[in-house]
Chains A and B, each alone.
Chain A
Amino acid sequence: MSAATARRGPLLEISSRTVVYGAVGAALYAVLGLFSFLIPGTQYVAVRPAFALVPFFGKRFGVIAGFFVGFVGNIVIDLIQGGGLTYWNWSVANGLVGAVAGLIFAYLPPIANEVLRLVVTALGAVAATAIGLLFVITDIPLQGIDFNTFLTLNYGPALLADAAAVVVLTPALDAIWEPLSKRAGR
């Protein structure tokens, strides 16, 4: 077992810490997730900066908290904006991004070099995003679209927009949280 895993305890443990940090993350994602902007030159590819929180919580607080932040946070955004539970599979995909990030970083050894750690954080977050968002392949039976449409109009643009957010913001959040977590012994 790596040091990172040992520090966190069992991978799927649901402690009071998991519950509270999951809830805080979901609330943060829900509030900050209401803000997005379009990538110029595209009609509907919107970057949601708050998406960076999902892999960050997965990395820092584990698989369950990561899934909770993505899944519940996205549902709350949909409830506030008006989508209801219509796009439930996208909420599951968001949750999977957090869960996969939790898994990836649980099995990576701790990295002392800060620059390298931030680069690995960005790469791990992008990998988690690419894997987790694959769940929206369920749009094929749900929306009746073909694979090319899924790839070029659903998955591709979402991955592009979310990857931009996680590459810029997830390492920034992690860099700030690292010394704080060490000071608090977390």
Chain B
Amino acid sequence: MDVTPRYLGAGSFLSRRDPRVLLLVPVLHLAAVAGIDDLRPVLACTAVALLYYRAAGIPWRGVRANWTFMLTFTTLLVIVNSVLTPADTRSWGSVLFTVPLAHTDVTWATLSYAATILVRYVSLAMVGFPVAFAIAPADFGVAFARLGLSQRLAYGVDLTFRFLPSTWASLRETVDAQRLRGYEHSRSRNPVKRLLTLRPVVVPVTVNALVDAEDTVNAMDLRAFGGRHRTWMRELAFDRADLLVLGGFAAMAAAMLVARILGLTQTVWVP
């Protein structure tokens, strides 16, 4: 399994943007699609999200597994939450069928609303994937710092990504070492027993990481970390394209918010 950040969208239109754009767009998109019950405006927002996603230039082969996981998980979630146990207010109209065991009446309104939720999640994933795959890993820290996060915590985000490969290597080493001592992962159906058998892996990996972290703390203290305002190697500045992208999503969020206030998007659409 590859746990290191993958910069799959390198060289694309979005990867050339200020990384703050890629962090702000999901927030604006969430503001646009949240709380909308009508499938049609959500589809319109999803079309915009699709264009945005295409601009990230993320190769399908690289994220096929991610999309499979995301779609499977979200579909199951929507079926359980919105079809099998829908709120009464969205069960109006003629009953198409009744779910066995759950005894839930499924109507066109139920299905339309479930589709709205599913499409909303897919559109959020479309604007979220570029954060994972089209921002250079080294740019996360400076981007968060320039968005107003504490300089120290922004550096913490940077450090997290740098620690990922070594933590993964440490996990593999520990599992191998414990196997040589006879460790076997439990296949028991008892969850407590399975958790207990994980202790020989989780505990040493955690303690080793914490002991090693002390060296990093000392090194940072010796360099007076946090003593003065931190500067970053990468200078960030919005250019015209950045402002256009942000302005476009901000306008869409504002338009959807106004439509929501006017009550234009609160009714479940039934074809």
Contacts and interface: CB of A to CB of B under 8 A. Distances in A.
Interface stretch (A12-20, A96-104, A108-116, A121-129): A12-20
Give the interface size class of chain A.
35 or more
A85 interface: yes
B46 to A, nearest CB: 13
B81 interface: yes
B55 to A, nearest CB: 16
B239 interface: no
A168 interface: yes
A172 B200 CA distance: 10
B205 interface: yes
Contact of B211 (A20, A86, A146, A180): A180
A31 B125 CA distance: 21
- Tell me the interface secondary structure of chain B in the complex: helix
B213 interface: yes
B160 interface: yes
Interface stretch (B7-15, B126-134, B240-248, B250-258): B126-134
B156 A23 contact: yes
Contacts of B87: 144-146, 149
Give the interface size class of chain B.
35 or more
Given A30-B160, A84-B124, A86-B70, A49 B171 contact: no
Interface string B171-211: 10000000000000000010110111011001101110111
B143 to A, nearest CB: 14
B249 interface: no
Interface string A50-64: 101100100000001
B73 A83 contact: yes
A173 B213 contact: no
Contacts, number: 200
A20 B70 contact: no
Interface string B53-74: 0000000000101111110011
A84 B128 contact: yes
Contact of B66 (A68, A81, A148, A173): A81
A176 interface: yes
A24 B166 CA distance: 10
A182 to B, nearest CB: 14
B108 interface: no
Nearest to A72: B160
B40 interface: no
A68 B154 CA distance: 11
B26 interface: yes
B217 A16 contact: yes
B69 A81 contact: yes
25 contacts: A14-B226, A16-B226, A18-B156, A19-B159, A19-B220, A20-B159, A23-B156, A23-B157, A24-B159, A37-B194, A68-B156, A76-B164, A83-B69, A83-B73, A83-B128, A84-B129, A85-B127, A86-B74, A145-B85, A146-B88, A153-B81, A164-B195, A173-B203, A176-B207, A177-B210
Q: Which 5 A-B pairs have the closest CB atoms?
A: A84-B128, A82-B66, A23-B159, A27-B163, A79-B132
